[in-house]
Structure 1
Protein backbone atom coordinates (compact mmCIF):
# COMPACT_ATOMS: atom_id res chain seq x y z
CA UNK A 1 0.00 0.00 0.00
CA UNK A 2 1.03 3.60 -0.57
CA UNK A 3 1.74 5.81 2.38
CA UNK A 4 -0.42 8.88 2.97
CA UNK A 5 2.48 11.05 1.80
CA UNK A 6 2.30 9.33 -1.57
CA UNK A 7 -1.28 10.39 -2.25
CA UNK A 8 -1.99 13.13 -4.84
CA UNK A 9 -1.38 16.67 -3.66
CA UNK A 10 -3.24 18.59 -6.37
CA UNK A 11 -6.73 18.58 -7.86
CA UNK A 12 -7.34 16.21 -10.74
CA UNK A 13 -4.48 13.86 -9.87
CA UNK A 14 -5.48 10.23 -9.47
CA UNK A 15 -4.94 8.14 -6.35
CA UNK A 16 -1.73 6.12 -6.37
CA UNK A 17 -2.53 2.40 -6.40
CA UNK A 18 -0.03 0.58 -8.67
CA UNK A 19 3.61 -0.32 -7.96
CA UNK A 20 4.65 1.64 -11.07
CA UNK A 21 3.01 4.89 -9.89
CA UNK A 22 5.19 7.86 -9.01
CA UNK A 23 5.64 8.81 -5.38
CA UNK A 24 5.53 12.49 -4.41
CA UNK A 25 9.31 12.53 -4.25
CA UNK A 26 9.63 11.04 -7.74
CA UNK A 27 7.09 13.47 -9.17
CA UNK A 28 9.03 16.37 -7.65
CA UNK A 29 12.02 15.21 -9.74
CA UNK A 30 10.06 14.65 -12.95
CA UNK A 31 7.66 17.59 -13.10
CA UNK A 32 10.29 20.33 -13.70
CA UNK A 33 11.80 18.28 -16.54
CA UNK A 34 8.60 18.06 -18.59
CA UNK A 35 7.99 20.62 -21.37
CA UNK A 36 5.89 23.69 -20.66
CA UNK A 37 2.21 23.11 -21.54
CA UNK A 38 1.18 24.83 -24.78
CA UNK A 39 -1.46 26.86 -22.93
CA UNK A 40 1.32 28.51 -20.90
CA UNK A 41 3.49 29.49 -23.88
CA UNK A 42 3.33 32.61 -26.04
CA UNK A 43 1.88 30.57 -28.92
CA UNK A 44 -1.00 29.51 -26.70
CA UNK A 45 -3.17 26.43 -26.81
CA UNK A 46 -5.90 24.58 -24.99
CA UNK A 47 -5.33 23.80 -21.31
CA UNK A 48 -4.51 20.14 -20.79
CA UNK A 49 -7.53 18.17 -19.60
CA UNK A 50 -5.59 15.53 -17.65
CA UNK A 51 -2.99 15.97 -14.94
CA UNK A 52 0.51 15.27 -16.21
CA UNK A 53 1.29 13.08 -13.24
CA UNK A 54 -1.56 10.79 -14.34
CA UNK A 55 -0.06 10.74 -17.84
CA UNK A 56 3.37 9.81 -16.52
CA UNK A 57 1.88 7.15 -14.23
CA UNK A 58 0.08 5.65 -17.24
CA UNK A 59 3.28 5.59 -19.30
CA UNK A 60 5.12 3.88 -16.47
CA UNK A 61 2.26 1.38 -16.09
CA UNK A 62 2.42 0.40 -19.77
CA UNK A 63 6.22 0.13 -19.59
CA UNK A 64 6.27 -1.92 -16.39
CA UNK A 65 3.40 -4.28 -17.22
CA UNK A 66 3.78 -4.61 -20.98
CA UNK A 67 0.06 -4.28 -21.69
CA UNK A 68 -1.66 -3.18 -24.89
CA UNK A 69 -2.51 0.52 -25.05
CA UNK A 70 -6.21 -0.31 -25.28
CA UNK A 71 -5.97 -2.34 -22.06
CA UNK A 72 -4.96 0.68 -19.97
CA UNK A 73 -6.99 0.64 -16.70
CA UNK A 74 -9.92 3.04 -16.57
CA UNK A 75 -8.54 5.10 -13.68
CA UNK A 76 -5.91 6.49 -16.07
CA UNK A 77 -6.66 9.07 -18.77
CA UNK A 78 -7.97 7.59 -22.07
CA UNK A 79 -5.36 5.46 -23.84
CA UNK A 80 -5.54 7.67 -26.93
CA UNK A 81 -4.52 10.67 -24.80
CA UNK A 82 -1.68 8.80 -23.13
CA UNK A 83 -0.43 7.46 -26.46
CA UNK A 84 -0.57 10.97 -27.89
CA UNK A 85 1.69 12.30 -25.13
CA UNK A 86 4.01 9.29 -25.60
CA UNK A 87 4.35 10.02 -29.31
CA UNK A 88 4.79 13.80 -28.97
CA UNK A 89 7.22 13.64 -26.08
CA UNK A 90 9.22 10.89 -27.75
CA UNK A 91 9.51 12.85 -31.00
CA UNK A 92 10.49 16.01 -29.12
CA UNK A 93 13.26 14.23 -27.20
CA UNK A 94 11.60 14.73 -23.81
CA UNK A 95 12.46 11.23 -22.56
CA UNK A 96 16.10 11.71 -23.64
CA UNK A 97 16.26 14.98 -21.72
CA UNK A 98 14.74 13.50 -18.55
CA UNK A 99 17.09 10.51 -18.74
CA UNK A 100 20.13 12.76 -19.11
CA UNK A 101 19.19 15.12 -16.25
CA UNK A 102 18.51 12.22 -13.87
CA UNK A 103 21.78 10.54 -14.82
CA UNK A 104 23.66 13.76 -14.10
CA UNK A 105 22.01 13.98 -10.66
CA UNK A 106 23.07 10.43 -9.83
CA UNK A 107 26.63 11.07 -10.97
CA UNK A 108 26.89 14.26 -8.90
CA UNK A 109 25.44 12.46 -5.87
CA UNK A 110 28.17 9.82 -6.30
CA UNK A 111 30.83 12.55 -6.35
CA UNK A 112 31.47 12.30 -10.09
CA UNK A 113 31.55 14.82 -12.90
CA UNK A 114 28.05 15.24 -14.42
CA UNK A 115 29.47 14.46 -17.87
CA UNK A 116 31.26 11.10 -18.27
CA UNK A 117 34.64 10.69 -19.94
CA UNK A 118 34.31 6.95 -20.64
CA UNK A 119 31.54 4.69 -21.89
CA UNK A 120 30.71 1.02 -22.45
CA UNK A 121 28.81 -0.24 -25.52
CA UNK A 122 27.02 -3.50 -26.26
CA UNK A 123 23.97 -4.91 -28.05
CA UNK A 124 21.05 -7.15 -27.18
CA UNK A 125 18.83 -9.05 -29.61
CA UNK A 126 15.18 -9.54 -28.64
CA UNK A 127 12.29 -11.32 -30.30
CA UNK A 128 9.80 -9.16 -32.16
CA UNK A 129 6.03 -9.51 -32.06
CA UNK A 130 3.92 -9.74 -35.20
CA UNK A 131 3.23 -6.00 -34.91
CA UNK A 132 6.84 -5.28 -35.90
CA UNK A 133 7.03 -4.74 -39.67
CA UNK A 134 9.41 -6.82 -41.79
CA UNK A 135 11.60 -3.88 -42.96
CA UNK A 136 12.60 -3.09 -39.34
CA UNK A 137 13.23 -6.66 -38.17
CA UNK A 138 15.78 -9.31 -39.07
CA UNK A 139 17.30 -12.64 -38.05
CA UNK A 140 20.31 -12.75 -35.73
CA UNK A 141 22.00 -16.00 -36.73
CA UNK A 142 24.33 -15.99 -33.74
CA UNK A 143 21.54 -15.71 -31.17
CA UNK A 144 18.93 -17.42 -33.39
CA UNK A 145 16.48 -14.59 -32.80
CA UNK A 146 14.04 -13.09 -35.28
CA UNK A 147 13.48 -9.54 -34.16
CA UNK A 148 15.35 -6.37 -33.32
CA UNK A 149 18.64 -5.44 -31.75
CA UNK A 150 19.23 -2.78 -29.09
CA UNK A 151 22.55 -1.00 -29.18
CA UNK A 152 23.34 1.03 -26.07
CA UNK A 153 26.13 3.09 -24.58
CA UNK A 154 26.36 3.56 -20.81
CA UNK A 155 28.68 5.37 -18.45
CA UNK A 156 30.98 3.42 -16.13
CA UNK A 157 28.09 2.99 -13.64
CA UNK A 158 25.80 1.47 -16.23
CA UNK A 159 23.61 4.55 -16.61
CA UNK A 160 22.20 4.91 -20.11
CA UNK A 161 23.80 7.49 -22.42
CA UNK A 162 22.48 6.57 -25.88
CA UNK A 163 20.16 3.91 -27.31
CA UNK A 164 19.76 2.83 -30.94
CA UNK A 165 17.31 0.18 -32.16
CA UNK A 166 17.85 -1.69 -35.45
CA UNK A 167 16.88 -4.94 -37.13
CA UNK A 168 18.51 -7.91 -35.40
CA UNK A 169 20.54 -8.86 -38.48
CA UNK A 170 22.62 -5.66 -38.23
CA UNK A 171 26.16 -6.57 -37.20
CA UNK A 172 27.55 -4.87 -34.11
CA UNK A 173 30.53 -3.51 -36.04
CA UNK A 174 28.22 -1.88 -38.58
CA UNK A 175 25.78 -0.39 -36.07
CA UNK A 176 28.70 0.77 -33.88
CA UNK A 177 29.45 3.63 -36.25
CA UNK A 178 25.94 4.99 -35.84
CA UNK A 179 26.00 4.38 -32.08
CA UNK A 180 29.40 5.99 -31.54
CA UNK A 181 28.48 8.97 -33.73
CA UNK A 182 25.30 9.48 -31.70
CA UNK A 183 27.29 9.16 -28.48
CA UNK A 184 29.87 11.70 -29.64
CA UNK A 185 27.13 14.14 -30.66
CA UNK A 186 25.67 14.33 -27.14
CA UNK A 187 28.69 13.47 -24.97
CA UNK A 188 31.72 15.35 -26.29
CA UNK A 189 33.69 14.55 -23.14
CA UNK A 190 33.73 10.80 -23.78
CA UNK A 191 37.16 9.83 -25.12
CA UNK A 192 37.38 6.14 -24.13
CA UNK A 193 34.90 3.38 -24.98
CA UNK A 194 34.98 -0.28 -23.91
CA UNK A 195 33.40 -2.97 -26.08
CA UNK A 196 33.32 -6.75 -26.35
CA UNK A 197 34.84 -8.98 -29.02
CA UNK A 198 31.88 -8.51 -31.34
CA UNK A 199 33.24 -5.06 -32.15
CA UNK A 200 36.71 -6.29 -33.09
CA UNK A 201 37.65 -4.45 -36.26
CA UNK A 202 40.77 -2.44 -37.02
CA UNK A 203 38.77 -0.35 -39.47
CA UNK A 204 36.22 0.52 -36.75
CA UNK A 205 38.92 1.29 -34.16
CA UNK A 206 40.79 3.52 -36.63
CA UNK A 207 37.57 5.26 -37.74
CA UNK A 208 36.58 6.01 -34.14
CA UNK A 209 40.03 7.43 -33.41
CA UNK A 210 40.37 9.54 -36.55
CA UNK A 211 36.78 10.72 -36.95
CA UNK A 212 35.45 11.00 -33.39
CA UNK A 213 38.68 11.17 -31.35
CA UNK A 214 37.48 8.11 -29.42
CA UNK A 215 39.67 5.26 -28.24
CA UNK A 216 37.74 2.01 -28.73
CA UNK A 217 39.16 -0.65 -26.41
CA UNK A 218 38.09 -4.27 -26.98
CA UNK A 219 37.70 -6.31 -23.77
CA UNK A 220 38.42 -9.85 -24.93
CA UNK A 221 37.46 -13.11 -23.27
CA UNK A 222 40.00 -14.80 -21.04
CA UNK A 223 42.13 -17.32 -22.92
CA UNK A 224 40.64 -20.80 -22.52
CA UNK A 225 37.35 -19.50 -21.08
CA UNK A 226 34.58 -22.06 -21.50
CA UNK A 227 32.01 -20.86 -18.94
CA UNK A 228 30.54 -17.54 -17.85
CA UNK A 229 33.08 -15.19 -16.29
CA UNK A 230 32.48 -11.60 -15.19
CA UNK A 231 34.85 -9.51 -17.28
CA UNK A 232 36.07 -6.03 -16.34
CA UNK A 233 33.87 -3.21 -17.73
CA UNK A 234 31.72 -5.53 -19.85
CA UNK A 235 29.55 -6.59 -16.90
CA UNK A 236 28.43 -2.98 -16.42
CA UNK A 237 26.51 -2.76 -19.68
CA UNK A 238 25.22 -6.33 -19.34
CA UNK A 239 23.70 -5.34 -15.99
CA UNK A 240 22.02 -2.39 -17.73
CA UNK A 241 20.31 -4.76 -20.15
CA UNK A 242 19.06 -6.67 -17.10
CA UNK A 243 17.61 -3.43 -15.69
CA UNK A 244 15.93 -2.64 -19.00
CA UNK A 245 14.25 -6.04 -19.31
CA UNK A 246 12.82 -5.89 -15.80
CA UNK A 247 10.13 -3.80 -17.52
CA UNK A 248 7.85 -6.28 -19.29
CA UNK A 249 7.33 -4.01 -22.30
CA UNK A 250 11.04 -4.46 -23.06
CA UNK A 251 11.20 -8.25 -22.76
CA UNK A 252 9.98 -8.45 -26.37
CA UNK A 253 9.74 -5.72 -29.02
CA UNK A 254 6.12 -4.85 -29.87
CA UNK A 255 6.61 -1.45 -31.48
CA UNK A 256 5.93 -0.61 -35.10
CA UNK A 257 8.53 2.16 -34.94
CA UNK A 258 12.08 1.72 -33.65
CA UNK A 259 11.85 5.19 -32.06
CA UNK A 260 9.01 3.92 -29.89
CA UNK A 261 11.14 0.95 -28.83
CA UNK A 262 13.88 3.35 -27.76
CA UNK A 263 11.32 5.48 -25.89
CA UNK A 264 10.21 2.52 -23.76
CA UNK A 265 13.85 1.71 -22.98
CA UNK A 266 14.30 5.30 -21.83
CA UNK A 267 11.13 5.15 -19.73
CA UNK A 268 12.32 2.02 -17.93
CA UNK A 269 15.67 3.64 -17.08
CA UNK A 270 13.91 6.85 -15.99
CA UNK A 271 11.83 4.86 -13.50
CA UNK A 272 14.94 3.09 -12.24
CA UNK A 273 16.79 6.37 -11.72
CA UNK A 274 13.94 8.25 -10.01
CA UNK A 275 13.57 5.38 -7.56
CA UNK A 276 17.29 5.32 -6.96
CA UNK A 277 17.50 9.07 -6.39
CA UNK A 278 14.52 9.24 -4.03
CA UNK A 279 15.70 6.15 -2.13
CA UNK A 280 19.14 7.72 -1.65
CA UNK A 281 17.59 11.02 -0.60
CA UNK A 282 15.40 9.26 1.97
CA UNK A 283 18.43 7.36 3.30
CA UNK A 284 20.37 10.62 3.79
CA UNK A 285 17.51 12.24 5.72
CA UNK A 286 16.79 9.34 8.09
Structure 2
Protein backbone atom coordinates (compact mmCIF):
# COMPACT_ATOMS: atom_id res chain seq x y z
CA UNK A 1 0.00 0.00 0.00
CA UNK A 2 1.48 3.31 -1.08
CA UNK A 3 2.05 6.25 1.23
CA UNK A 4 1.79 8.75 -1.62
CA UNK A 5 -1.32 10.83 -2.13
CA UNK A 6 -3.85 9.67 -4.66
CA UNK A 7 -3.90 12.08 -7.59
CA UNK A 8 -7.64 12.66 -8.10
CA UNK A 9 -9.63 10.37 -5.79
CA UNK A 10 -13.41 10.33 -5.72
CA UNK A 11 -14.85 12.82 -3.22
CA UNK A 12 -17.57 11.35 -1.02
CA UNK A 13 -18.43 14.51 0.93
CA UNK A 14 -19.53 17.65 -0.88
CA UNK A 15 -19.49 19.90 2.20
CA UNK A 16 -16.24 21.63 3.12
CA UNK A 17 -14.63 19.55 5.88
CA UNK A 18 -13.31 21.05 9.11
CA UNK A 19 -10.22 18.79 8.95
CA UNK A 20 -7.99 18.04 5.96
CA UNK A 21 -7.38 14.33 6.70
CA UNK A 22 -8.43 11.76 4.09
CA UNK A 23 -11.41 10.56 6.11
CA UNK A 24 -12.81 14.09 6.40
CA UNK A 25 -12.12 15.19 2.84
CA UNK A 26 -13.00 11.99 0.98
CA UNK A 27 -14.61 9.69 3.56
CA UNK A 28 -17.51 9.84 5.98
CA UNK A 29 -15.80 11.52 8.93
CA UNK A 30 -17.86 14.68 8.40
CA UNK A 31 -20.71 12.79 10.10
CA UNK A 32 -18.75 12.98 13.38
CA UNK A 33 -17.97 16.26 15.15
CA UNK A 34 -14.39 17.30 15.80
CA UNK A 35 -13.10 16.79 19.32
CA UNK A 36 -11.48 19.57 21.29
CA UNK A 37 -7.74 18.96 21.58
CA UNK A 38 -6.97 19.10 25.30
CA UNK A 39 -4.29 16.51 26.17
CA UNK A 40 -0.50 16.99 26.13
CA UNK A 41 -0.23 14.01 23.77
CA UNK A 42 -2.46 15.64 21.13
CA UNK A 43 -0.68 16.73 17.99
CA UNK A 44 -0.25 20.44 17.49
CA UNK A 45 -1.32 22.02 14.22
CA UNK A 46 2.36 22.34 13.26
CA UNK A 47 2.96 18.63 13.89
CA UNK A 48 -0.12 17.69 11.87
CA UNK A 49 1.03 19.80 8.92
CA UNK A 50 4.38 17.97 9.02
CA UNK A 51 3.01 14.43 9.12
CA UNK A 52 -0.11 14.72 6.97
CA UNK A 53 1.76 14.35 3.64
CA UNK A 54 3.30 11.10 4.95
CA UNK A 55 0.06 9.37 5.95
CA UNK A 56 -0.92 6.19 4.08
CA UNK A 57 -3.67 6.35 1.50
CA UNK A 58 -6.56 4.03 2.49
CA UNK A 59 -7.38 1.15 0.17
CA UNK A 60 -10.90 2.45 -0.45
CA UNK A 61 -9.49 5.76 -1.66
CA UNK A 62 -7.36 3.98 -4.25
CA UNK A 63 -10.29 1.94 -5.54
CA UNK A 64 -9.21 -1.33 -3.94
CA UNK A 65 -12.39 -2.03 -1.98
CA UNK A 66 -13.65 -1.32 1.50
CA UNK A 67 -15.92 1.37 2.88
CA UNK A 68 -14.88 5.00 3.26
CA UNK A 69 -13.59 5.57 6.78
CA UNK A 70 -15.89 7.34 9.18
CA UNK A 71 -13.41 8.59 11.76
CA UNK A 72 -10.83 11.33 11.47
CA UNK A 73 -7.26 10.08 11.01
CA UNK A 74 -5.94 12.87 13.21
CA UNK A 75 -8.29 11.82 16.02
CA UNK A 76 -7.23 8.19 15.63
CA UNK A 77 -3.53 9.06 15.82
CA UNK A 78 -4.14 11.30 18.83
CA UNK A 79 -5.98 8.41 20.53
CA UNK A 80 -3.05 6.03 19.99
CA UNK A 81 -0.59 8.67 21.23
CA UNK A 82 -2.73 9.18 24.34
CA UNK A 83 -2.76 5.45 25.04
CA UNK A 84 1.03 5.13 24.73
CA UNK A 85 1.84 8.29 26.69
CA UNK A 86 -0.65 7.65 29.48
CA UNK A 87 -0.17 3.91 29.87
CA UNK A 88 -3.89 3.14 29.78
CA UNK A 89 -5.63 0.04 28.44
CA UNK A 90 -7.56 0.15 25.17
CA UNK A 91 -10.89 -0.07 27.00
CA UNK A 92 -10.00 2.98 29.13
CA UNK A 93 -9.97 5.29 26.10
CA UNK A 94 -11.55 8.66 27.07
CA UNK A 95 -15.04 9.31 25.77
CA UNK A 96 -14.02 12.31 23.65
CA UNK A 97 -12.05 9.96 21.35
CA UNK A 98 -13.78 7.49 19.01
CA UNK A 99 -14.86 4.24 20.70
CA UNK A 100 -11.87 2.15 21.81
CA UNK A 101 -12.85 -0.75 19.55
CA UNK A 102 -12.70 1.46 16.47
CA UNK A 103 -9.37 2.94 17.51
CA UNK A 104 -7.92 -0.53 18.09
CA UNK A 105 -9.27 -1.78 14.75
CA UNK A 106 -7.66 1.22 13.03
CA UNK A 107 -4.32 0.55 14.74
CA UNK A 108 -4.44 -3.20 14.03
CA UNK A 109 -5.30 -2.66 10.36
CA UNK A 110 -2.36 -0.29 9.88
CA UNK A 111 -0.03 -2.63 11.75
CA UNK A 112 -1.03 -5.76 9.80
CA UNK A 113 -0.53 -3.98 6.47
CA UNK A 114 2.86 -2.61 7.49
CA UNK A 115 1.65 0.98 7.36
CA UNK A 116 2.78 1.90 10.87
CA UNK A 117 6.35 0.81 10.18
CA UNK A 118 6.34 2.53 6.79
CA UNK A 119 4.88 5.72 8.28
CA UNK A 120 7.54 5.66 11.02
CA UNK A 121 10.35 5.08 8.51
CA UNK A 122 9.25 8.04 6.41
CA UNK A 123 9.13 10.26 9.49
CA UNK A 124 12.64 9.11 10.44
CA UNK A 125 13.89 9.94 6.97
CA UNK A 126 12.45 13.46 7.20
CA UNK A 127 14.09 14.03 10.60
CA UNK A 128 17.44 12.85 9.23
CA UNK A 129 17.15 15.20 6.26
CA UNK A 130 16.37 18.13 8.57
CA UNK A 131 19.58 17.26 10.45
CA UNK A 132 21.56 17.44 7.21
CA UNK A 133 21.85 13.66 6.79
CA UNK A 134 20.85 11.28 4.05
CA UNK A 135 17.44 9.67 4.57
CA UNK A 136 19.03 6.20 4.78
CA UNK A 137 21.73 5.68 7.47
CA UNK A 138 25.08 4.01 6.86
CA UNK A 139 25.91 3.18 10.50
CA UNK A 140 23.98 2.10 13.57
CA UNK A 141 24.10 1.11 17.23
CA UNK A 142 22.52 -1.94 18.88
CA UNK A 143 21.69 -2.41 22.55
CA UNK A 144 19.24 -4.23 24.82
CA UNK A 145 17.06 -3.33 27.78
CA UNK A 146 15.23 -5.65 30.17
CA UNK A 147 11.84 -4.51 31.47
CA UNK A 148 9.31 -6.03 33.81
CA UNK A 149 6.15 -7.42 32.30
CA UNK A 150 2.52 -7.65 33.36
CA UNK A 151 0.76 -10.70 34.74
CA UNK A 152 -1.04 -11.12 31.40
CA UNK A 153 2.21 -11.98 29.58
CA UNK A 154 2.35 -15.73 28.77
CA UNK A 155 5.08 -17.80 30.38
CA UNK A 156 6.43 -18.77 26.95
CA UNK A 157 7.58 -15.19 26.30
CA UNK A 158 8.56 -14.39 29.89
CA UNK A 159 12.06 -14.86 31.29
CA UNK A 160 14.51 -13.71 33.95
CA UNK A 161 17.57 -11.58 33.21
CA UNK A 162 20.07 -12.80 35.79
CA UNK A 163 22.55 -10.02 35.06
CA UNK A 164 20.07 -7.17 35.55
CA UNK A 165 17.90 -9.18 37.96
CA UNK A 166 14.79 -8.26 36.01
CA UNK A 167 11.91 -10.69 35.37
CA UNK A 168 10.07 -9.98 32.14
CA UNK A 169 11.04 -9.26 28.56
CA UNK A 170 14.01 -7.77 26.78
CA UNK A 171 13.97 -5.10 24.08
CA UNK A 172 16.70 -5.32 21.47
CA UNK A 173 17.02 -2.16 19.40
CA UNK A 174 19.05 -0.89 16.48
CA UNK A 175 19.23 2.87 16.01
CA UNK A 176 20.97 5.24 13.64
CA UNK A 177 23.65 7.59 14.94
CA UNK A 178 20.95 10.12 15.90
CA UNK A 179 19.23 7.57 18.12
CA UNK A 180 16.25 7.08 15.79
CA UNK A 181 14.86 3.56 15.77
CA UNK A 182 15.64 1.28 12.83
CA UNK A 183 14.69 -2.18 14.09
CA UNK A 184 13.19 -3.40 17.38
CA UNK A 185 12.70 -6.99 18.51
CA UNK A 186 11.31 -8.20 21.82
CA UNK A 187 12.27 -11.51 23.45
CA UNK A 188 12.01 -13.13 26.85
CA UNK A 189 14.44 -11.50 29.29
CA UNK A 190 16.58 -14.63 29.59
CA UNK A 191 17.62 -14.51 25.89
CA UNK A 192 21.27 -13.46 25.61
CA UNK A 193 22.29 -10.37 23.69
CA UNK A 194 24.44 -12.35 21.24
CA UNK A 195 21.65 -14.83 20.53
CA UNK A 196 19.14 -12.09 19.84
CA UNK A 197 21.62 -10.00 17.83
CA UNK A 198 21.80 -12.51 14.98
CA UNK A 199 18.14 -12.03 14.14
CA UNK A 200 18.25 -8.31 14.86
CA UNK A 201 21.26 -7.67 12.61
CA UNK A 202 19.94 -9.90 9.84
CA UNK A 203 16.75 -7.91 9.76
CA UNK A 204 18.65 -4.63 9.99
CA UNK A 205 20.80 -5.60 6.99
CA UNK A 206 17.73 -6.60 4.98
CA UNK A 207 15.81 -3.40 5.70
CA UNK A 208 18.75 -0.98 5.52
CA UNK A 209 21.20 -2.11 2.88
CA UNK A 210 23.40 1.00 3.19
CA UNK A 211 24.46 0.17 6.75
CA UNK A 212 27.94 -1.35 6.86
CA UNK A 213 29.04 -0.51 10.43
CA UNK A 214 27.28 -1.19 13.73
CA UNK A 215 28.54 -0.45 17.25
CA UNK A 216 27.64 -2.64 20.23
CA UNK A 217 28.61 -3.22 23.86
CA UNK A 218 30.82 -5.94 25.33
CA UNK A 219 27.92 -8.38 25.53
CA UNK A 220 28.14 -8.83 21.76
CA UNK A 221 31.73 -10.06 21.59
CA UNK A 222 32.88 -13.51 20.53
CA UNK A 223 31.92 -15.27 17.33
CA UNK A 224 29.28 -12.69 16.52
CA UNK A 225 31.92 -10.33 15.09
CA UNK A 226 33.17 -12.89 12.57
CA UNK A 227 29.62 -14.02 11.78
CA UNK A 228 28.63 -10.44 10.93
CA UNK A 229 31.67 -10.06 8.68
CA UNK A 230 31.26 -13.36 6.85
CA UNK A 231 27.47 -13.64 6.67
CA UNK A 232 26.21 -10.05 6.53
CA UNK A 233 29.27 -8.18 5.19
CA UNK A 234 28.85 -5.99 8.24
CA UNK A 235 31.51 -4.59 10.56
CA UNK A 236 30.60 -4.94 14.24
CA UNK A 237 32.55 -2.52 16.44
CA UNK A 238 32.65 -3.23 20.19
CA UNK A 239 32.72 -0.30 22.61
CA UNK A 240 33.78 -1.57 26.04
CA UNK A 241 34.06 -0.08 29.48
CA UNK A 242 37.62 -0.06 30.82
CA UNK A 243 38.58 -1.49 34.19
CA UNK A 244 39.30 1.93 35.69
CA UNK A 245 35.81 3.31 34.99
CA UNK A 246 33.68 3.88 38.07
CA UNK A 247 30.05 4.93 38.24
CA UNK A 248 28.25 6.44 35.31
CA UNK A 249 30.45 7.13 32.28
CA UNK A 250 29.28 8.30 28.87
CA UNK A 251 30.68 5.79 26.38
CA UNK A 252 31.32 6.72 22.76
CA UNK A 253 28.51 5.76 20.37
CA UNK A 254 26.75 3.58 22.96
CA UNK A 255 25.24 6.60 24.72
CA UNK A 256 23.03 7.20 21.69
CA UNK A 257 21.13 3.94 22.17
CA UNK A 258 20.95 4.51 25.93
CA UNK A 259 19.31 7.87 25.25
CA UNK A 260 16.80 6.15 22.96
CA UNK A 261 15.81 3.84 25.81
CA UNK A 262 15.35 6.93 27.99
CA UNK A 263 13.07 8.41 25.33
CA UNK A 264 11.01 5.22 25.27
CA UNK A 265 10.66 5.19 29.04
CA UNK A 266 9.02 8.62 28.94
CA UNK A 267 5.89 6.83 27.70
CA UNK A 268 4.14 5.10 30.58
CA UNK A 269 2.88 2.22 28.47
CA UNK A 270 6.48 1.30 27.66
CA UNK A 271 7.81 1.28 31.23
CA UNK A 272 6.32 -2.23 31.54
CA UNK A 273 5.46 -4.77 28.84
CA UNK A 274 1.72 -5.45 28.77
CA UNK A 275 1.43 -7.18 25.40
CA UNK A 276 -0.07 -10.66 25.55
CA UNK A 277 0.37 -11.65 21.90
CA UNK A 278 3.64 -11.94 20.01
CA UNK A 279 4.02 -12.01 16.28
CA UNK A 280 5.35 -15.22 14.67
CA UNK A 281 9.05 -15.35 14.05
CA UNK A 282 11.88 -13.56 15.79
CA UNK A 283 10.48 -11.27 18.45
CA UNK A 284 7.78 -8.65 18.08
CA UNK A 285 7.92 -5.57 15.90
CA UNK A 286 7.50 -2.41 18.01
CA UNK A 287 9.00 0.13 15.61
CA UNK A 288 6.03 2.58 16.12
CA UNK A 289 7.03 3.09 19.71
TM-score w.r.t. length of structure 2: 0.85
CA separation of 1:29 and 1:20: change in aligned 2, threshold 3 A: same
Q: 2:265 aligns with which of 239, 242, 245?
A: 245
Q: Which residue of 2 aligns with 1:161?
A: 182
Specify the alignment match of 2:131 in structure 1. 110
The answer to whether the Cα contact below 8 Å between 1:122 and 1:196 also exists between their aligned partners in 2 is yes
Structure number with the higher helix fraction is 1
How big is the shift at 1:254? 0.3
Equivalent in the alignment of 1:126: 147
Q: 1:228 aligns with which of 234, 248, 273?
A: 248
- Name which of 135, 140, 144 aligns with 2:161: 140
* RMSD after superposition: 1.8
2:229 pairs with 1:218: no
Q: By how many angstroms is 1:135 displaced? A: 0.8
CA contact (8 A) 2:117 2:288 kept: no
Q: Is the 8 A contact 2:149 2:273 kept in 1?
A: yes
SS for the counterpart of 1:99 is helix
Q: Secondary structure at the match of 1:255?
A: coil
Unaligned runs of 5+ in 1: 1-7, 269-286
How many residue pairs get matched? 259
Provide the C-alpha distance between the structure 2 equivalents of 1:258 and 1:192, rounded to a whole number of angstroms: 29
The higher-RCO structure (CA 8 Å, 6+ apart) is 1
TM-score w.r.t. the length of structure 1 is: 0.86
- Measure the CA separation in 1 of the matches of 2:205 and 2:287: 19
> What is the distance in 1 between the residues matched to 2:154 and 2:55?
31
Q: Hey, what does 2:226 align to over in structure 1?
A: 206
Q: Mapping of 1:33-112 within 5 angstroms?
A: 33-112=54-133
Q: Flag structure 2 segments of 5+ consecutive residues without an equivalent.
A: 1-17, 21-29
CA offset at residue 96 of structure 1?
A: 1.3
Q: Which residue of structure 1 aligns with residue 46 of structure 2?
A: 25
SS at match of 1:147: strand
Contact 1:148 1:168 in 2 (8 A): yes
